């Protein structure tokens, strides 16, 4: 697994019957691939993992593996409450064809240092798949600390971190302590360029779901040292990127996907689609940004 580049945390598409909409999912998937993303992450927060059945997760992984046809790796997020369930999902992910895992700490129970480390180690030792730790204490209340990473370094297949602490200096702290032992991928859209400049290897992105080309362009321009060009796109993008840090990020980003023509607003209950003033305010923001969408340089030709 090459944990570098842009990895969309894709949304799960639903039809009017609340079933998975594979045609629309594939449409978005092909836009991601054409834009030049480096991997596909399924079953994250944006993927509404908590309301997907195990069967649906399996079908989604197998469908995605078939459609990407080896062009990029498919990664499944693990967000379980019981260690044995996380181990079983890791086993199934490998069976379904996933090439990597993203892992949150235990759900619902606020595990301490020892419990968190043992949870990650138990899953890592049960699978050959490479793992990216998802470190998001803001939303999930457990921080994977630097001291925890010292212990987790013993597991060779724990290879990367989705850095979502919202502390920009954590990139430098990780580099100072571990060098290149762990690949670092920014997990917060609103500080992505800053983390990339500070040495992050990649970007697990949210608004990429609606604007894949702009996201990949920023990544490539930054890594090529073409900061002024990246800044212009990033400044245009920022009001949209802020949708990624709202509690309703799923509804907000799905609305953006719909307005961009590569998704729909449909969510699964208990989430509800946006209505009234809130929806109108978001439409003004999204449609206004689309109306002045920047012309991108030929970022596909940039070698980094």
Q: Say how far apart CA 42 and CA 278 lie, in whole Å.
A: 28
Active site residue 119: no
The count of other CB atoms within 10 Å of the CB of residue 286 is: 22
Active site residue 134: yes
| Helix count and strand count (H, E) for the chain | 12, 8
101, 112 Cβ separation under 8 angstroms: no
The DSSP result for 34-70, as a single string, is HHT-S-EEESSTTTTGGG--HHHHHHHHHHHHHHHTT
256, 31 Cβ separation under 8 angstroms: no
- Report residue 196: phi and psi, to 5°: -65, -40
Three-state DSSP class for 102? strand
- Report residue 254: phi and psi, to 5°: -65, -35
Q: Pick the catalytic residue: 134, 140, 219, 299?
A: 134
Q: Pick the catalytic residue: 13, 162, 183, 223?
A: 162
Catalytic residues: 134, 162
């Amino acid at each position: 697994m090459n944990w570098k580049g842009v990895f969309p945390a894709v949304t799960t598409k639903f039809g009017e019957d609340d079933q998975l909409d594979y045609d629309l999912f594939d449409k978005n998937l092909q836009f991601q691939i054409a834009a030049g993303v480096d991997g596909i992450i399924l079953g994250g927060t944006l993927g509404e993992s908590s309301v997907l059945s195990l069967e649906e997760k399996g079908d989604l992984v197998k469908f995605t593996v078939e459609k990407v046809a080896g062009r990029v790796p498919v990664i499944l997020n693990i967000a379980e409450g019981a260690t044995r369930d996380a181990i079983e999902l890791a086993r199934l992910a490998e069976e379904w064809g996933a090439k990597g895992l993203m892992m949150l700490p235990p759900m619902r129970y606020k595990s301490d240092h020892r419990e968190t480390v043992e949870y990650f180690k138990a899953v890592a030792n049960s699978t050959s798949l490479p793992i990216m730790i998802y470190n998001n204490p803001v939303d999930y209340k457990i921080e994977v600390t630097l001291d925890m990473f010292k212990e987790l370094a013993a597991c060779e297949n724990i290879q990367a971190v989705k850095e979502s602490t919202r502390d920009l200096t954590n990139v430098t702290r990780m580099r100072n302590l571990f060098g290149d032992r762990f690949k670092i991928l920014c997990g917060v859209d609103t500080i992505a360029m800053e983390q990339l400049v500070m040495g992050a290897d990649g970007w697990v992105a949210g608004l990429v779901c609606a604007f894949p080309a702009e996201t990949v362009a920023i990544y490539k321009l930054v890594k090529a040292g073409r900061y002024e060009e990246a800044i212009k796109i990033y400044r245009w993008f920022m009001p949209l990127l802020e949708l990624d840090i709202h509690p309703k990020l799923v509804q907000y980003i799905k609305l953006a996907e719909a307005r961009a023509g590569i998704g729909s607003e449909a969510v699964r209950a208990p989430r509800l689609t946006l209505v009234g003033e809130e929806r109108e305010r978001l439409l003004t923001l999204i449609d206004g940004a689309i109306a002045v969408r920047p012309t991108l340089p030929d970022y596909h030709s940039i070698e980094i």
